[in-house]
């Protein structure tokens, strides 16, 4: 059955993918040669909530190219797929899903266990959307090994394989035991929408219009001081008596939690009042809090008034000052960033805070945190509502700093000056949650941290070594180091890691790996992989206390309780929801609700109940273990032994910090090995205007739509051809259409072969590699060109220069095979060389399919199947090894000569407006031996492609156009057809251009320094160019002269 006219991608893709899967073509080790080297890529796991976007398409196309390329070359290849459980994103999706039906219970109503059931249910239903989509792209992952970062966690369906959970928990426990993980009350980025802490990286700075208010903090007891301002020369510009200190703030509502006012130690203006107390000008008048004026390096004397209010619990800079100055940090908000409504009434709390400020009392951290200093009338308000009330109250009291401003009376229209509160408007960067998009509230809470400073060094060292080796050209992929390509991204990596902050890994969510720590009633933490382990630790701990005689006291029993024994219990989940001090929910084991004291006559056995930490781990903590976790660690699996360390990580620059750096740190910390030898960082896919694709801008190109419209091969090839290292990629549909045309071109070249019986029927897969026996120059030439293409593709891919590889193939297939070889083959198809040409063409096309397969897997597999009875699918065909020995320099030179001649003739014809259909005679006016032989061997091709009507030897007749070539000259008589003036113009133009080049060459050669300093080969090349050029110029001059004689 003859081939269709074009490739029907929509029809073929699904069928072909199914065939690959059916054949197990993507399985780990498929097509591996005996004893082969391994090649392993870990997919950057897409979120389980994800659907394929352009970034995925790009990222996975590049991986697929590397994987298919290695697999065809016989490597023992594994492309490990999987998905990330994506804590916040998934919890959000499921909650939203539940909310769609009002009859559903909310997450809180249903409780932790029930909710997690729902999440698992959702995952089972919708979790593999992206897998289906990756398949449409042609991704050749070993889906039988599909991994999930929550596999093996409690609640996971029994049918699911894998146990990533154990690996995560084991790492946590190990790191905890090594002191690499700690818990502490720190100021963290709090997302009030999701009510969880988030890491620095999950915070996004967004520029917003901000306001800055200026308020007066009166000095205690009405005290006054001489406020003096000086200019740069020390001249006094302002001198006045003040009874206040002026403060600027963008967050007036946090004034309620101020612990001090700070000024720079060198600031003379405030020197007289340092150490004194001032009053926070808000709250009930009779309970105004006094706070000290302190010095710290942080305030910038040249900014604002030079004095800064210090709210340690709600600002990162202030927190630092508070820590240094031992200033209490008063938390003002709850988990929703509403003003606190808990604890004692304001009057009582303020009194306590006052005695602290006066130094009469000190509070523990917990006591300080328990103190609610929000005035009663502001309690429970949203932070922004509280802000505006605070401003109103202060302004009403006359304590806002005012300025004289022109204002217009609305009724009379009269202009007058008025004192108005000073509110500066300025653009400022404000932290937002990257998922919730709400303003982040710095919040003092207990969180778990990875002490990154302790594990960062090996991760830095490994890349330093890798980059050094790369630079020195001595990169060894078996060494325990890693290179990052392009180099620029290594710089980013270094910069971040060299300035790394502790990593907050606890999240107040339910969906995720629950932290394996249990707390005793005395607050003591016990960390173990399972609760039995925690119980063991707890028993040890409490027995020790018991033996020391302090157990009763520690647990709050009266001292005369005689303790005989201890029994420890723990529950992982509970049904009772209790609120902790932050107002957030904690699932509490039901049994702890009634701790029993068991008597047994002789003494007392105390039942001690451990409560598990309700928090889960940051998603990136688990994905940081992706390389070992997917291979079965901590078990010493075959796969782990074989494929780890993996080879290449292909990823976008946006997750260098989130993921790459953490994988490096964690793999090195856990197994002391780098997770991969190479990180290839690619850029972002943008829209055709260079804008980041985003849903809100509506400029998103959906890869699935594009695949439907142009076929997966065209989409893949476009992305690859544009994947210049390190540069953003602006995608346009025109470009994709262009590469779709390329697939059609390949298809039609095959059709030509089919029509000419030039396909290799009944030839096995391995046969494809055999070099065809060719004697004709054309065939020897194209064989060499094919080898060149193969060498260039391999070299480009080895260097991760995907665009070079793609462009090489494009130029080869279209520019060489289709434009020239197929055309040359036409006249040969019914001559003596027909069989040889058919065989060569079949071979060349096979090489095209094979070489293009990693880039365009579908159409090439289809063509492979349609053009022969093959032993193997193309996906497992042997990668060509044709190399330099396939290149025939003689044939090369000859064909280049032929091509140049044809192009010359065509060009001359076009410029002389010779009708395209008109066949012209050719006259050889002069030619050397080589030229004659070349012409003779290729005459049918030249005649056909240049549209000639035979060749004769002789002198150029009058009114002929001249065609100079290397070694001789041709003429085409066009008496009466050509316009002499036009031909002269044509020749003159050519000559002019040539002369310009020649002058440049002559100038270089006449410069003695050039001849002296430039490399021999460059000088020689320049000389050759000059000789050839001068030769041609002579011919052109002669032709011009002839024309002048007749014209």
**Residues facing residue 79 across a β-bridge:** 41
Q: 716 and 855 in contact (C-beta within 8 Å)?
A: yes
Which of these ranges, 271-279, 422-430, 626-634, 842-850, lies near RNA under the rule CB under 7 A? 422-430
Q: In this chain, which stretch among 275-283, 601-609, 778-786, 1012-1020 interacts with RNA, using CB under 7 A?
A: 1012-1020
Nearest to RNA of 43, 898 (CB atom): 898
787-816 in b/e form (b: 16+ CB < 10 A) is bbbbbbbbebbeebbbbbbbbbbbebbeeb
- Residue 950 tokens read as 């035979």
User: Binder to RNA among 32, 332, 725, 850 (CB under 7 A)?
Assistant: 725
Question: Segment contacting RNA (CB under 7 A): 86-94, 517-525, 641-649, 996-1004?
Answer: 996-1004
Tell me which residues in 5-34 interact with RNA (CB under 7 A).
5-6
Work out how close the CB of 56 gets to RNA at its nearest, in angstroms, rounded to a whole number: 18
3-state DSSP assignment of residue 834: helix
Question: Which member of 45, 74, 257, 299 binds RNA (CB under 7 A)?
Answer: 299
Window 801-830: residues binding RNA (CB under 7 A)? 803-804, 807, 810, 814, 818-819, 822-823, 826
| DSSP string over 4-42 | PSS--HHHHHHHHHHHHHHTTTTSTTTTPPTTPPEEEEE
By CB under 7 A, what part of segment 362-391 binds RNA?
none
Burial class (CB in 10 A: 0-12, 13-18, 19+), 929: exposed
Degrees, nearest 5: CA angle 477-480-486: 55
- In 3D space, the residue among 165, 102, 115 whose CA is nearest the CA of residue 575 turns out to be 115
Burial of residue 439 (CB within 10 Å: 0-12, 13-18, 19+) is middle
Q: Of these, 62, 92, 153, 308, which contacts RNA (CB under 7 A)?
A: 308
Contacting range for RNA; rule: CB under 7 A; set: 300-308, 868-876, 881-889, 923-931 = 300-308
Of 117 and 300, the one with the shorter C-beta distance to RNA is 300
Q: Could you tell me the two tokens for 188?
A: 């963290």
Q: Which of residues 636-675 bind RNA (CB under 7 A)?
A: 654, 657
Q: Does 1018 bind RNA (CB under 7 A)?
A: yes
Is there binding between residue 528 and RNA (CB under 7 A)?
no
Binding to RNA (CB under 7 A) within 260-279 occurs at: none
422 touches RNA (CB under 7 A): no
Considering the complex, what minimum distance in angstroms separates the CB of residue 402 from RNA? 18
Taking CA atoms, 311 is separated from 71, 357, 754, 789, 801, in Å, by 60, 14, 80, 66, 52
Say which residue the tokens 């600027």 belong to. 248
Q: Could you tell me the smallest distance in angstroms from the CB atom of residue 371 to RNA?
A: 22
CB of 596 to RNA, least distance (A): 49
Whether residue 288 contacts residue 281, with contact meaning beta carbons closer than 8 Å, is answered with: yes
Q: Is 1002 in the site for RNA (CB under 7 A)?
A: no
Query: Applying CB under 7 A, does 51 fall inside the site for RNA?
Result: no
Among 708, 951, 1014, 1026, binds RNA (CB under 7 A): 1014
Q: Provide the CB-side half-sphere exposure for 134 (13 A, CA).
A: 31
Contact residue for RNA among 287, 584, 745, 872 (CB under 7 A): 745
Q: Which two three-digit tokens encode residue 840?
A: 């060569």
Q: Show contacts with RNA in window 83-142 (CB under 7 A).
A: none
Q: What is the CA radius of gyration of the chain?
A: 39
From edge to edge, which strands make up the β-sheet containing 960-965?
948-953, 920-927, 968-973, 960-965
Closer to RNA at the Cβ: 164 or 747? 747
Q: What DSSP designation does 854 have?
A: T
Q: Is 149 in the site for RNA (CB under 7 A)?
A: no
Beta-bridge partner residues of 225: 242
Residue of the chain from 129, 317, 480, 866 that contacts RNA (CB under 7 A): 317
Contact pattern for RNA over residues 753 through 782, marking x by CB under 7 A? --x---------------------------
Place of tokens 């390096």: 297
User: Which segment (269-277, 378-386, 751-759, 871-879) binds RNA by CB under 7 A?
Assistant: 751-759
CB of 564 to RNA, least distance (A): 54
Does residue 865 bind RNA (CB under 7 A)?
no
Under rule CB under 7 A, residue 437 binds RNA: no
- Hey, which residues does 676 pair with through a beta bridge? 646
CA–CA separation, 56 vs 47, rounded Å? 11
- What is the smallest separation between the CB atom of 18 and RNA, expressed in angstroms? 24
Residues 687-706 contacting RNA, CB under 7 A: 688, 690, 692
Is position 1004 an interface residue for RNA (rule: CB under 7 A)? yes
For RNA, what does the binding mask look like between residues 242 and 261, x meaning CB under 7 A?
A: -----xxxxx----------
Which of 128, 160, 174, 200 contacts RNA by CB under 7 A?
Answer: 200
User: Can you tell me whether residue 507 is helix, strand or coil?
Assistant: strand
Torsion sign over Cα 355, 360, 365, 366: negative
- Where helices occur in 573-721 by DSSP H, the ranges are 619-623, 626-629, 638-643, 662-671, 703-710, 712-721
Least distance (Å) from RNA to the CB of residue 192? 18
CA distance 347 to 339: 16
Nearer to RNA, 117 or 997 (CB): 997
Which one-letter DSSP state was computed for residue 440? P
Q: Which helix (H) or strand (E) element contains residue 734?
A: helix 733-755
Question: Tokens 């790394």 map to which residue?
Answer: 500
Report the residue number, 123 or 483, with the smaller CB distance to RNA: 483
CB of 267 to RNA, least distance (A): 9
Determine the longest span between alpha carbons in the chain, in angstroms: 136
Q: How far is the CB of 900 from RNA (least distance, A)?
A: 10
What backbone phi and psi angles, to 5 degrees, belong to 973?
Answer: -65, 130
Q: Which is closer to RNA, CB of 153 or CB of 749?
A: 749
Q: How far is the CB of 946 from RNA (least distance, A)?
A: 9
Q: Of residues 438-497, which lie at the interface with RNA (CB under 7 A)?
A: 488, 491-492, 495-496
> Contact with RNA (CB under 7 A): which of 50, 304, 521, 634?
304
Chain positions 323 to 362 lying near RNA, rule: CB under 7 A, are: none
* DSSP-assigned states of every residue in 233-286: TS-EEEEEEESEEEEEES-GGGGGG--EEEE-TT-GGGGGGTT-EEE-S-S-GG
Q: Is 116 within 8 Å of 510 (Cβ atoms)?
A: yes
Binding window for RNA (CB under 7 A); candidates: 158-166, 273-281, 521-529, 747-755? 747-755
- What residues form DSSP beta bridges with 964? 969
Q: Give the interface segment with RNA, choosing from 203-211, 542-550, 558-566, 602-610 (CB under 7 A).
A: 203-211
The verdict on whether omega for the bond into residue 456 sits within 30 degrees of 0, i.e. cis, is: no
Scanning 21-29, 517-525, 731-739, 851-859 for contacts with RNA by CB under 7 A, the matching segment is 731-739
Judged by CB under 7 A, the stretch of 13-21, 43-51, 719-727, 860-868 that binds RNA is 719-727
Q: How many residues does the chain have?
A: 1047
What residues numbered 206-225 form the site for RNA, per CB under 7 A? 210, 212
- Give the angle subtended at the CA of 358 by the CAs of 354 and 362, to the nearest 5°: 80
Q: Which of 104, 604, 673, 744 binds RNA (CB under 7 A)?
A: 744
Nearer to RNA, 261 or 517 (CB): 261
The verdict on 1009 binding RNA (CB under 7 A) reads yes
Shortest approach of RNA to residue 179 CB, angstroms? Answer: 25
Please check whether residue 77 is in contact with residue 67, taking contact to mean a CB–CB distance below 8 angstroms: yes
Contact stretch for RNA (CB under 7 A) within 328-336, 662-670, 865-873, 899-907: 899-907
The H or E element containing residue 571 is strand 563-571
907 near RNA, rule: CB under 7 A = yes
Q: Which CB sits closer to RNA, 301 or 607?
A: 301
Q: Which two tokens stand for residue 863?
A: 């063509």
């Amino acid at each position: 059955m003859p081939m269709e006219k074009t490739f029907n991608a929509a029809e073929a893709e699904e069928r072909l993918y199914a065939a690959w899967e059916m054949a197990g073509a993507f399985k780990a080790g498929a097509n591996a040669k005996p004893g082969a080297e391994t090649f392993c890529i870990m997919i950057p796991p897409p979120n389980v909530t994800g659907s394929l976007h352009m970034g995925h398409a790009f990222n996975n196309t590049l991986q697929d190219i590397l994987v298919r390329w290695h697999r065809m070359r016989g490597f023992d290849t594994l492309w490990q797929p999987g998905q990330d459980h994506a804590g916040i994103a998934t919890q959000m999706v499921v909650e939203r899903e539940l909310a769609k039906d009002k009859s559903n219970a909310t997450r809180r109503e249903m409780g932790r266990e029930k909710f997690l059931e729902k999440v698992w249910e959702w995952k089972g239903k919708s979790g593999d959307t992206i897998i289906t989509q990756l398949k449409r792209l042609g991704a050749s992952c070993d889906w039988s090994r599909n991994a999930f970062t929550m596999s093996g966690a409690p609640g996971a369906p029994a049918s699911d394989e894998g146990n990533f959970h154990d690996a995560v928990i084991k790492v946590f426990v190990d790191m905890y035991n090594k002191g690499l993980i700690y818990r502490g009350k720190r100021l963290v980025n709090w997302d009030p929408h999701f009510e969880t802490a988030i890491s620095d990286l999950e915070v996004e700075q967004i520029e917003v219009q901000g306001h800055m208010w200026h308020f007066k903090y009166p000095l205690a007891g009405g005290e006054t001081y001489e406020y003096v301002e000086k200019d740069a020369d020390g001249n006094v510009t302002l001198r006045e008596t003040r009874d206040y200190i002026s403060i600027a703030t963008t967050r007036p509502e946090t004034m309620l939690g101020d612990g001090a006012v700070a000024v720079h130690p060198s600031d003379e203006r405030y020197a007289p009042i340092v150490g004194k107390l001032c009053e926070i000008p808000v709250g009930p008048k009779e309970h105004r809090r006094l706070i000290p004026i302190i010095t710290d390096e942080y305030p910038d004397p040249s900014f604002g008034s030079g004095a800064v209010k210090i709210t340690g619990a709600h600002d990162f800079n202030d927190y630092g000052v508070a820590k240094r100055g031992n200033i209490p940090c008063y938390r003002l908000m709850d988990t929703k960033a509403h003003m606190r409504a808990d604890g004692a009434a304001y009057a009582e709390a303020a009194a306590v805070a006052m005695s602290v400020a006066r130094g009469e009392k000190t509070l523990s951290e917990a006591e300080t945190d328990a103190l609610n200093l929000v005035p009663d009338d502001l309690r429970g308000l949203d932070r922004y509502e509280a802000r505006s009330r605070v401003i109103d109250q202060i302004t009403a009291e006359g304590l806002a700093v005012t300025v004289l401003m022109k204002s217009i009376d609305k009724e009379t229209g009269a202009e007058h000056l008025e004192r108005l509160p000073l509110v500066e408007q300025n653009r400022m960067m404000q932290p937002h949650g990257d998922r919730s998009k709400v303003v982040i509230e710095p919040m003092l809470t207990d969180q778990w941290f990875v002490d990154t400073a302790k594990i960062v060094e090996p991760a830095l060292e490994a890349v330093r070594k890798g980059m050094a080796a790369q630079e020195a050209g001595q990169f060894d992929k078996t060494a325990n180091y890693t290179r990052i390509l392009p180099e620029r991204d290594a710089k980013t990596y270094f910069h971040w890691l060299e300035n790394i902050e502790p990593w907050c890994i606890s999240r107040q969510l339910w969906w995720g790996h629950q932290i394996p720590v249990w707390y005793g009633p005395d607050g003591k933490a016990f960390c173990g992989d399972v609760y039995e382990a925690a119980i063991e630790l707890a028993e040890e701990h409490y027995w020790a206390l018991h033996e020391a005689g302090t157990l009763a006291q520690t647990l709050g029993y009266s001292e005369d309780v005689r303790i005989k024994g201890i029994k420890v219990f723990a529950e992982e989940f509970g049904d009772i929801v209790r609120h902790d001090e932050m107002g957030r929910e904690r699932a509490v084991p039901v049994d702890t609700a009634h701790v029993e004291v068991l008597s047994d006559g002789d003494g007392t056995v105390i039942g001690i109940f451990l409560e598990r930490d309700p928090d889960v781990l940051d998603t990136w903590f688990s994905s940081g273990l992706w390389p070992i976790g997917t291979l079965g660690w901590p078990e010493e699996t075959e796969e782990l032994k074989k494929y780890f360390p993996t080879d290449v990580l292909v990823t976008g620059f946006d997750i260098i910090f989130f993921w790459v750096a953490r994988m490096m740190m964690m793999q090195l910390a856990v197994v002391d090995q780098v997770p991969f030898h190479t990180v290839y960082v690619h850029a972002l896919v943008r829209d055709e205007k260079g804008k980041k694709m985003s849903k809100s801008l509506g400029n998103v190109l959906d890869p699935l739509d594009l695949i439907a419209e142009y076929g997966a091969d065209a989409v893949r090839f476009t992305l690859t051809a544009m994947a210049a290292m390190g540069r953003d990629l602006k995608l346009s549909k025109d470009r994709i259409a262009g590469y779709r045309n390329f697939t059609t071109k390949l298809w039609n070249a095959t059709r030509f072969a089919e029509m000419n019986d030039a396909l290799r029927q009944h030839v096995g897969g391995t046969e494809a590699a055999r070099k065809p026996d060719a004697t004709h120059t054309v065939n020897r030439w194209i064989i060499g060109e094919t080898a060149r293409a193969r060498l260039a593709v391999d070299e480009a891919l080895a260097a991760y220069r995907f665009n070079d590889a793609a462009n090489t193939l494009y130029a080869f297939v279209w520019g060489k095979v289709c434009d020239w070889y197929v055309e040359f083959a036409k006249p040969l198809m019914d001559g003596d060389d027909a069989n040889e040409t058919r065989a060569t063409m079949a071979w060349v096309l096979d090489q095209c399919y094979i070489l293009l397969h990693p880039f365009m897997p579908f159409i090439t597999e289809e063509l492979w199947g349609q053009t022969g009875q093959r032993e193997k699918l193309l996906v497992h065909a042997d990668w060509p090894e044709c190399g330099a020995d396939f290149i025939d320099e003689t044939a090369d030179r000859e064909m280049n000569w032929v091509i140049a001649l044809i192009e010359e003739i065509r060009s001359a014809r076009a410029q002389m407006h010779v009708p395209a259909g008109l066949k012209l005679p050719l006259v050889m006016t002069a030619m050397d031996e080589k030229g004659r032989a070349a012409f003779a061997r290729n005459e049918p091709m030249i005649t056909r492609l240049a549209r000639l009507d035979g060749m004769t030897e002789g002198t150029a007749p009058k009114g002929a156009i001249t065609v100079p070539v290397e070694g001789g000259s041709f003429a085409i008589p066009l008496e009466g057809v050509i316009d002499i003036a036009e031909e002269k113009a044509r020749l003159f133009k050519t000559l002019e251009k040539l002369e310009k080049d020649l002058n440049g060459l002559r100038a270089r050669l006449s410069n003695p320094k050039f001849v002296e300093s430039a490399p021999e080969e460059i000088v020689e090349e320049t000389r050759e160019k000059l000789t050839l050029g001068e030769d041609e110029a002579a011919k052109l001059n002669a032709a011009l002269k002839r024309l002048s004689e007749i014209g």
